[in-house]
Amino acid sequence: MKIASWNVNSLRVRLPQVLRWLDTQRPDVLAMQETKTEDKDFPVEEFSAAGYNAVCSGQPTYNGVAILSRDEPENVLTALPDFTDPQRRVLAASIGALRIVDLYVPNGQSLESDKYRYKLDWLAQLDLWVGELTRQHPNLVLLGDFNIAPDDRDVHDPKVWAGQVLVSEPERAAFRKFEARGLKDSFRLHEQGGGHFSWWDYRAAGFRRNLGLRIDHILLSPALAERCASASIDREPRGWERPSDHAPVLAEITLP
């Protein structure tokens, strides 16, 4: 079972790349973020022709999440429970034996911004839900753009980034709470070194110089972490013409 997450930064612009990537990698599940596409405009038929079911939760201009899967998605949820929010950032679906929860965590903008407060509140509400999810679903996958670099190995220049949004201590503490609930960062099951990133700034030749952050993650419940055969970041699409600023991240799980 190959599971992937990709912040595509506009599905309208990136559809050809997503189709190309699906054709190459053939993941069983692809969770996308920042589709920036209303549900009525979602390219269901293009994905169907590629062999994928699709569920989506979008809005104009901003945010938007979607899950593609080879098997039929069931029990779809499109919001954090008990959290009123017009922003489309959450999509959950059961696919085969797995509960998939696709997240586009708020960016936060800066520590002084109202958007940072919103991010921390959002993460606190998510944590409450994750508590329920871990009890209800032994095969839980929590994945997406977390907009958090969990530790300094995940930052190209920790001194430059110290204390800034995406690396600040309250955000990292929120990430550790998911781990305290038993979820495992699949990438770190297989790689302990630094210098592995999932996002690079469009400016300053960030990708060429590997000035990036690892902020896209696939978290696995203990039962799935035991069966995680590999985890990786596919840098290739970041090198394509007109790329997303994020790379797809992958985890392979050997189901019985």
Partner DNA sequence: ATGGCCTGCAACGCAGGA
Catalytic residues, which ones? 104, 145
Distance of CA 190 to the CA centre of its chain: 18
Return residues touching DNA (CB under 7 A).
7, 9-10, 12-13, 34, 36, 60-62, 106-107, 109, 115, 145, 147, 165-166, 199, 201-205, 213, 215, 242, 245-246
Please choose, from the candidates 104, 24, 33, 28, the residue with its C-alpha nearest in 3D space to the C-alpha of residue 72.
28
Q: Minimal distance in Å, beta carbon 11 to DNA? A: 7
Nearest-angstrom CA–CA distance, 77 and 59: 16
Pairing of strands 29-33, 2-7: parallel
SS3 137: coil
Comparing CB distances to DNA, the nearer of 13 and 162 is 13
Pick between residue 129 and residue 199 the one whose CB is nearest to DNA.
199
134 membership: H or E segment, kind and range: helix 114-136
Shortest Å, Cβ 206 to DNA: 8
Distances (CA, A) of 67 to 36, 80, 117, 151, 214: 14, 16, 28, 28, 21
- Residue identified by tokens 């996308």 is 32
Distance linking the first and last C-alpha atoms of the chain: 10
CB of 227 to DNA, least distance (A): 29
Tokens at residue 77, please? Answer: 């949820």
Nearer to DNA, 99 or 104 (CB): 104
φ and ψ of 215, to 5 deg: -125, -5
What's the closest the beta carbon of residue 183 comes to DNA, in angstroms? 21
- C-beta of 138 vs 239, nearer to DNA: 239
